Amino acid sequence: MRLLIAAVGRVKSGPLADLQSEYLKRLSGSIGITEVEERRTLSPAERKAREAELLLAALPEDALIVALDERGKTLASVAFAERVQRWRAEGVKTLAFVIGGAEGLAQPVVQRASLSLSLGAMTWPHLLARILLLEQLYRAQQILAGHPYHRE
């Protein structure tokens, strides 16, 4: 199963880029990050709608989509790992995680998603949310491999 993260914003060199690179190296299998960005000056509502268009256009047609959204479901790490394993067993070819910008995700993205996932009740900057997601994907990989990285 191929993993894809489609995210608004570009990670510039520095600590976040270093962390992203580190987790990408740790993850086995195929994983890609597609970054989209709208540079025009738009109202917040217009920006959110435009970012949704860019994100959806970046996704393969057959992708199973997980939208990272503050109103989404929270999952413990083991439950997240089990969900990823179930999708793999069901033959999902591309598992795509979508991270919006500062305004969040527009409804067309959330509605197309098979799961709306929250990283918790706290608000996280969208670039940091990408790192948190990568860490959880790595943690899921280690849980499924029976590695002691994750402790209950």
Query: Which domains can be identified in the chain, with CATH numbers?
Result: 2-144 (3.40.1280.10)
pLDDT greater than 90 at residue 92: yes
Handedness of CA 92, 146, 141, 109 (dihedral sign): positive
What per-residue confidence (pLDDT) applies to 137?
A: 98
**Residues in contact with 85: Cβ distance below 8 Å, sequence separation at least 6, in sequence order:** 140, 144
At 150, the pLDDT band (50, 70, 90 cuts) reads confident
- Quick one: average pLDDT of 94-112? 97
At 151, the pLDDT band (50, 70, 90 cuts) reads confident
pTM, rounded to two decimals = 0.96
What per-residue confidence (pLDDT) applies to 32?
A: 96
Q: How far is CA 36 from CA 11, 13, 152, in A?
A: 11, 17, 36
